[in-house]
């Protein structure tokens, strides 16, 4: 019963992390290790996934995402650690004893069965009456938007359509957990964006707890309730898309998600030197002195003032302003990308994204001198070689 | 978040509980592995141990007493050895014998007379001292008393021991070990000629724009459809004492190495062609373009690009042909004359002299080159596969009139040779009485009037071929599926792979002999299959297992490896996936395996010649036996029956592959 209410309450808003002390998470992974011979593909992975949540495993290729997913599915048993689902320890259950539907990157559709027989494959085994199965298949075909493809063979469908069939087959038996391994990677960009939306909608409608593996940060940011950022077999950070984007827990996460200016520099007296300027920053657990990497995203570089009004404006606020020169600008459709230089930066490369609005308002153009602000709460500082 | 120093904590890996599927899969794999073990490993072991077994009369084990004429006063007990030392009645060499040997007890009593009132006693000095009285076996240390008339029928039996003696005998008997040289000579010469012809043919098919390619390819494959001894019969008609082309030999005899080599080239040609053609077809167009841009001459390109590109194919083909020739028995039996080769020696030792131990020794000798060739072939095949998977642009031939005509000429010579052999057999089968009455008749097809099994033999062959195709394909495909799709269970899968590859290394004749030792042993609970159709099917399935297994594996490796996980996540048992997806998707390969099993079961002589009985005579064996009995024309006719049958089976296979597959595999064609 609690399940249905939880589902009913779900909204489009990213879900906050579960407060401590609430009931058991739906899926709990504790101290998971996976060794392939000497090689450790997963190192001490612990993770809780809540009922109805959409989780993305995000990380570069080879970081262990698929390995973790296959351990959850019981396809490649973990070397150490436990997994429980719905309060039940499933660590040593075979795949057939677990409760999930899975979609592989290859789709793995049965080539000799029609679309409807593919979707019905899991239903037929349950021994339900033919009419009921047919009705369910029809319902699923409608759900994934392929109502008139029932009689075709997989090879007659496009990649995106095949992926939807695979999805319909996986959810046909109403599994408690949906596992998706790079479901969109093989598709072309347009279809991919469209399907992102579709999958997300579907998941929301069904309220099924979902784990999706991807190496595409945009995909993760746009779909996930929470993102699990992985690297070299460890979890770097778990958080909502805004959390991992705004407050990356490590340089790796900052670098992997979104664009960054990475500046190799020093911290002294609580300020980071960028070019000739000393910049304050607010990050609490950042080092107070020594060699660091300062990180600021291009869209966080705020155009402050340009041209003759500059000196006057400058006097009003002294903090974190740098005088720069626009070396070049590219028009990227909805915004401009500026490559900044000038004496104050002293050769530190910096890229900024300026809105159309700001460019028009301040009269920004190539070669112009201007002042930018690096807001203290947007400057991230990480100890070097971390 | 540094992972430096991360080490695996103490503990044990998760052991996934085995579900029904896993248990059933493992169970099936173990059953099939057990089949291979019982049908291959154990018989081979029995044969190997037989080759080390010797039988001899041990005279120290027997004691005799003789009474006087009254039959009441007995002499002192005396051992047979003591008597023989005194009398030299039996020379030491005659004490070595075969398992069935018998030595009359009267040998040690020169003044024995069966009418005398004297009585005799015999007993063993040790537990194992077998002797016969009449047909009754005795083995006891109690005295057995018999009258003179019965003593006549007392026979000492040999005892068994293990030693290298059989091998010593083999290598000290020139008439036997000379066969090694002969076999290697024949196999080497045949291999060289076949590879040359097949390479030329494959080259022409792959690299020229000559006309009639499909027809030539079809003709080139014909020899696969007939027993290996059929060319022998044709050669008798062509070059034998009354052969129609006898003069061409300039007085040489076709009976001997010449005939064996020509016949071997005939029956191994398609095997070599398939392998070399595959090797040539995967070579890369880009190499040729590079050579052309370097202005390399055609000749230089041939030696620096073509030959190295095809080298694995050539080596592999050479070893396959060599093995086929050295292990073949039918052809040298028919056309070999007095020229002894290993395979025929096995047959002669077993069928002619009933010396099973020596047959086993020759088998072991024959097994050695077969195993070496097998290992080399496996290594080379692996490299070839690596070449295959590399991306390459297939070669496209450009027309060149002179070159194309030369190619056509080469292929035409081969085609005429093949058609000539088969045509001669057909001709021989239809002629009333060569060379005196050349009118046509079907009387040679009246098999029921000849020895050799008659039409029943033909029907038995069909039955054998169908059973072998059906049962063999089912076992082979299931086994390949299990070994390919089981998770974990590594050691057992490795063992299974080994057992599945082994049959390729074992010559049919050797397998047959091994079956005699294993299944004809009364102590074997499987003894009941001896002399039945079952043992023939078991032998054929086992003998042709490997090629089918490899075909199945190749097909299975091509289907998505995620099907099983998907089925498991849908909680569908694997057998439903197997029946509804795996088998339909692999149907082309399954049909290929069945036609391979069918054709080979029809044509094989070597795998069945030791195992057929009067009720299970076979067409291929009938060809051999009718030829042996001098009924050469009916032998040719029976050989042609096999040819028609296999040709028909191939046509049915082609129709099935096209017609039925186009329906069940509509998905392939969109
Ligand atoms: N069966 C295997 N044997 C050995 N190494 C493996 C195996 N499967 C994966 N790996 C290794 O484990 C690491 C993680 O792989 P994977 O989980 O597939 O990465 P990804 O994050 O791209 O999905 C990779 O370095 C890969 O090479
Ligand atoms: Mg992956």
Classified as helix, coil or strand, B55 is strand
Structure tokens at B470: 């059906």
Residues 6+ apart with CB under 8 A from B147: B117, B119, B120
In eight-state DSSP terms, residue B615 is G
Which CATH number among 1.10.10.10, 1.10.510.10, 3.30.70.20, 1.10.3720.10 corresponds to the domain B169-441?
1.10.3720.10
Contact B3 A170 (CB under 8 A): no
Give me the count of residues in chain A.
386
Ligand 1, atom 1: nearest CA belongs to which residue?
A: A36
In this structure, what DSSP letter does residue B314 have?
H
Position A17 scores a pLDDT of 43
Residue of A85, A110, A113, A211 to mutate, interface with B, max B Cβ within 10 Å? A110
* Cα dihedral A77, A81, A86, A90 sign: positive
- State the CB neighbour count (10 A cutoff) for residue B457: 25
- Give the whole-angstrom CA distance, residue B340 versus residue B349: 12
Domains B169-441 and B444-664 agree in fold: yes
Among the partner residues A80, A112, A231, nearest to B581 by beta-carbon distance: A112
| Alpha carbon B378 to its chain's center | 18
Beta bridge partners of A119: none
Q: Where are the domains of chain B?
A: 56-163, 169-441, 444-664
The half-sphere exposure of A25 on its side-chain side, counting CA atoms within 13 A, is 18
Nearest beta carbon to residue B566 from set A108, A156, A233:
A108
Distance CA A52, CA B500 (A): 49
Would you list the DSSP string of B6-31?
--PPSS----PPP-HHHHHHHHHHHH
Q: pLDDT of B13-47, one tens digit each?
A: 888 888 888 899 999 999 999 999 999 999 999 99
Q: Using the predicted structure, report yes or no on whether residue A319 has a pLDDT greater than 60.
A: yes
Element (H, E) at B312: helix B311-327
Of A5-14, A97-106, A172-181, B465-474, minimum mean pLDDT range: A5-14
Dihedral sign from CA coordinates of A65, A68, A69, A70: positive
Structure-token pair, residue A80: 């150490």
Query: B5, B562, B661: best mutation site toward chain A, by most A Cβ within 10 Å?
Result: B562
Q: Do B570 and A101 touch (CB under 8 A)?
A: yes
How many Å apart are CA B97 and CA B103, to the nearest integer? 10
What's the burial of B382, exposed, middle or buried (CB within 10 Å: 0-12/13-18/19+)? exposed
Ion ligand 2: residues, CB within 5 A, are: A 66
What's CA B529's distance to the chain center, in Å?
Answer: 20
Confidence (pLDDT) at B280: 83
CB contact under 8 A, B560 and A106: yes
pLDDT of residue B609 exceeding 70: yes
The CATH class that applies to domain B444-664 reads mainly alpha
Q: Which of A215-224, A274-283, B373-382, B451-460 has the highest mean pLDDT?
A: A215-224
Per 3-state DSSP, what percentage of chain A is helix, strand, and coil (rounded to 5)?
30, 30, 35
Tell me whether strands A261-268 and B437-440 are parallel, antiparallel or unpaired: unpaired
CB contacts under 8 A, A 82-101 vs B, are 91-98, 100-101
Please say if the pLDDT value at position B458 is more than 90: yes
B566 and A104 within 8 Å at the Cβ level: the answer is yes
Is the pLDDT at B342 greater than 90, yes or no? yes
Q: Does the distance separating the beta carbons of B16 and A92 come in below 8 Å?
A: yes
Phi, psi of B3 (to 5 degrees): -105, 10
Q: Where are the beta strands (DSSP E) in B375-531?
A: 431-433, 437-440
Judged against a pLDDT cut of 90, whether residue B467 lies above it is answered with yes
What torsion, rounded to 10 degrees, do the Cα atoms B395, B400, B403, B409 define?
100
The pLDDT score that the predictor gives to residue A70 is 95
DSSP code of B211?
Answer: S
Indicate which of B6, B12, B16 best probes the interface with A, i.e. most A CBs within 10 Å of its own CB. Answer: B16
| Contacts for A170 with CB less than 8 Å, ≥ 6 apart | A101, A102, A103, A178, B569
| Closest residue of chain B to A74, computed from CA coordinates | B16
The answer to whether the bond into B435 is cis (omega within 30° of 0) is yes
Distance A62 CA to ligand 1 centre (A): 6
Cα–Cα distance between A347 and B36 in angstroms, integer?
A: 75
Q: How large is the ipTM?
A: 0.84
- Residue B80, CB-side half-sphere exposure with 13 Å CA sphere: 27
pLDDT tens string B506-552: 999 999 999 999 999 888 999 999 999 999 999 999 999 999 999 99
Phi-psi category of residue A160: left, alpha or beta, with phi > 0 → left and psi -120 to 50 → alpha: alpha
Across chain B, what does the average pLDDT equal? 89
Alpha-carbon A235 to chain mean position: 13
| DSSP tally for chain B: helices H, then strands E | 30, 13
Q: Quote the mean pLDDT of chain A.
A: 87
- pLDDT tens digits for B540-594? 999 999 999 999 998 898 888 999 999 999 999 999 999 999 998 899 899 999 9
What value does the mean pLDDT take over residues B5-19?
A: 86
Element (H, E) at A6: helix A2-9
A277, pLDDT greater than 80: yes
Q: B12: which 2 tokens?
A: 């044990």
Candidate from A91, A156, A170 with C-beta closest to B14: A91
Look up residue B5 and give its two tokens.
Answer: 């120093």
Weakest-pLDDT range from A303-312, B93-102, B272-281, B371-380: A303-312
Indicate the burial class of B545 (C-beta count within 10 angstroms; 0-12, 13-18, 19 or more). Answer: buried
* Nearest Cα residue to atom 5 of ligand 1: A36
| The Cα angle at residue B68 between residues B63 and B71, in degrees rounded to 5 | 90
Residue B295 is predicted with a pLDDT of: 73
**Does the CB of B399 have a partner CB in chain A at under 8 Å?**
no
Residue B385 has pLDDT above 70, yes or no: no
Residue B146 sits at φ, ψ, to 5 deg, of -135, 155
CA distance A215 to A257: 10
Beta bridge partners of A296: A261
Q: Which residues line ligand 1 (CB under 6 A)?
A: A 36, 39, 41, 59, 61-67
Report the chain A residue with the minimal C-alpha distance to residue B665: A112
A80 and B17: CB-CB below 8 Å?
no
Q: What is the pLDDT of residues A349-362, one digit of tens each?
A: 899 999 999 999 88
Mean pLDDT within A257-276: 87
With b for 16 or more beta-carbon neighbours within 10 A and e for fewer, the B507-544 pattern comes to: bbbbbbbbbbbbbbeeebeeeebbbebbbbbbbbbbbb
Contact of B343 with B290, CB cutoff 8 Å: no
| Contact criterion met (CB < 8 Å) for B16 and A155 | no
């Amino acid at each position: 019963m609690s399940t249905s209410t939880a589902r009913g309450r779900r909204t489009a808003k990213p879900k906050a992390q579960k407060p401590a002390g609430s009931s058991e998470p739906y899926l709990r992974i504790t101290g998971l290790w996976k060794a392939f011979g000497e090689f450790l593909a997963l190192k001490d992975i612990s993770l809780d996934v809540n009922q109805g949540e959409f989780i993305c495993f995000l990380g570069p290729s080879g970081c262990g995402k698929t390995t973790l997913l296959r351990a959850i599915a019981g396809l490649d048993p973990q070397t150490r650690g436990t997994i429980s689902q719905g309060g039940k320890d499933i660590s040593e259950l075979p795949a057939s004893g677990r409760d999930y539907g899975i979609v592989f990157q290859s789709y793995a559709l049965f080539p000799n069965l029609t679309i409807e027989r593919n979707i019905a494959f899991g239903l037929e085994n349950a021994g339900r009456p033919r009419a009921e199965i047919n009705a369910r298949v029809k319902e699923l075909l409608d759900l994934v938007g392929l109502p008139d493809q029932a009689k075709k063979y997989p090879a007659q469908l496009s990649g995106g359509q095949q992926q939807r069939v695979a999805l319909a087959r996986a959810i046909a038996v109403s599994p408690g957990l949906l596992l998706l391994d790079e479901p969109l990677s093989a598709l072309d960009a347009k279809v991919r964006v469209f399907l992102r939306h579709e999958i997300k909608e579907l998941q929301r409608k069904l309220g099924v707890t979902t784990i999706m593996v991807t190496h595409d940060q945009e995909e993760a940011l746009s779909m996930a309730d929470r993102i699990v950022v992985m690297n070299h077999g460890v979890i770097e950070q778990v958080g909502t898309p805004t959390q991992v984007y705004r407050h990356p827990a490590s340089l790796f996460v900052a670098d992997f998600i979104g664009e960054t200016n990475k500046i190799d520099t020093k911290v002294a007296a609580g300020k980071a030197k960028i070019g000739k300027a000393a910049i304050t920053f607010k990050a609490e657990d950042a080092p107070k002195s020594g060699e660091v990497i300062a990180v600021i995203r291009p869209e966080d570089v705020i155009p402050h003032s340009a041209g003759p009004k500059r000196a006057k404006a400058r006097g009003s606020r002294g903090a974190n302003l740098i005088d720069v020169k626009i070396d070049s600008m590219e028009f990227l459709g909805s915004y401009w990308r500026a490559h900044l230089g000038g004496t104050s930066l002293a050769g530190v490369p910096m890229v900024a994204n300026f809105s159309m609005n700001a460019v028009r308002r301040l009269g920004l153009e190539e070669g112009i001198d201007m002042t930018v602000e690096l807001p203290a709460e947007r400057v991230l500082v990480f100890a070097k070689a971390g | 978040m540094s992972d430096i120093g991360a080490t695996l904590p103490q503990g044990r890996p998760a052991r996934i509980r085995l579900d029904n599927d896993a248990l059933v899969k493992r169970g099936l794999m173990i059953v099939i592995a057990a089949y291979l073990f019982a049908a291959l490993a154990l018989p081979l072991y029995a044969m190997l141990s037989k080759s080390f077994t010797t039988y001899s009369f041990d005279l120290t084990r027997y004691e005799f007493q003789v009474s006087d004429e009254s039959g009441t006063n007995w002499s002192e007990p005396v051992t047979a050895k003591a008597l023989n030392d005194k009398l030299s009645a039996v020379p030491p060499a005659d004490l070595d014998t075969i398992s069935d040997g018998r030595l009359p007890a009267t040998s040690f009593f020169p003044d024995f007379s069966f009418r005398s009132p004297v009585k005799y006693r015999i007993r063993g000095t040790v537990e194992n001292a077998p002797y016969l009285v009449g047909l009754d076996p005795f083995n006891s240390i109690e005295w057995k008393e018999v009258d003179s008339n019965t003593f006549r029928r007392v026979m000492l039996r040999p005892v068994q021991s293990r030693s290298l003696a059989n091998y010593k005998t083999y290598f000290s008997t020139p008439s036997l070990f000379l066969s090694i040289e002969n076999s290697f000579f024949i196999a080497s010469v045949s291999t060289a000629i076949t590879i040359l012809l097949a390479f030329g043919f494959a080259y022409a098919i792959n690299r020229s724009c000559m006309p009639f390619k499909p027809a030539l390819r079809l003709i080139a494959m014909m020899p696969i459809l007939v027993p290996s001894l059929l060319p022998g019969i044709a050669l008798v008609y062509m070059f034998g004492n009354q052969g129609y082309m006898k003069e061409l030999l300039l007085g040489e005899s076709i009976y001997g190495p010449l005939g064996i080599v020509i016949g071997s080239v005939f029956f191994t040609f398609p095997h070599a062609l398939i392998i070399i053609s595959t090797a040539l077809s995967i070579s890369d167009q880009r190499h040729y373009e590079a050579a052309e841009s370097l202005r390399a001459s055609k000749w230089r390109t041939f030696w620096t690009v073509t030959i190295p590109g095809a080298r694995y194919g050539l080596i592999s083909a050479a070893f396959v042909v060599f093995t086929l020739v050295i292990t073949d028995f039918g052809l040298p039996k028919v056309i070999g004359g007095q020229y002894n080769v290993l395979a025929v020696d096995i047959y002669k030792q077993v069928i002619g002299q009933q010396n099973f131990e020596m047959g086993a020794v020759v088998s072991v000798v024959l097994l050695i080159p077969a195993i070496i060739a097998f290992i080399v072939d496996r290594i080379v095949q692996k490299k070839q596969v690596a070449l295959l998977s590399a991306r390459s642009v297939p070669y496209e031939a450009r027309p060149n009139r002179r070159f194309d005509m030369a190619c056509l000429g080469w292929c035409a010579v081969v085609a005429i040779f093949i058609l000539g052999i088969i045509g001669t057999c057909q001709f021989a089968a239809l002629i009333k009485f060569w060379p005196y009455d050349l009118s046509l008749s079907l009387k040679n097809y009246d098999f029921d009037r000849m020895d050799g099994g008659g039409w029943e033999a033909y029907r038995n062959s069909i039955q054998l071929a169908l059973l072998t195709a059906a049962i063999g394909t089912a076992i082979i495909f299931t086994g390949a599926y299990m070994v390919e799709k089981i998770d974990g269970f590594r050691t057992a899968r490795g063992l299974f792979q080994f057992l599945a590859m082994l049959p390729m290394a074992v010559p049919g004749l050797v397998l047959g002999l091994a079956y005699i030792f294993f299944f004809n042993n009364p102590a074997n609970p499987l003894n009941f299959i001896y002399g039945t159709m079952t043992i023939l099917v078991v032998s054929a399935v086992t003998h042709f297992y490997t090629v089918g297994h490899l075909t199945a594996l190749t097909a299975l490796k091509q289907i998505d490896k995620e099907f099983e996980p998907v089925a498991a996540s849908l909680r569908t048992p694997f057998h439903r996936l197997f029946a509804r997806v795996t088998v339909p998707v692999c149907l082309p390969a399954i049909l290929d395996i069945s036609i391979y099993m069918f054709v080979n079961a029809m044509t094989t002589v070597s795998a069945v010649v030791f195992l057929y009985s009067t009720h299970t005579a076979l067409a291929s064996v009938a060809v051999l036996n009718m030829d042996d009995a001098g009924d050469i024309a009916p032998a040719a006719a029976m050989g042609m029956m096999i040819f028609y049958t296999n040709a028909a089976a191939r046509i049915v296979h082609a129709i099935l592959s096209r017609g039925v597959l186009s329906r069940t595999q509509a998905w392939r064609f969109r």
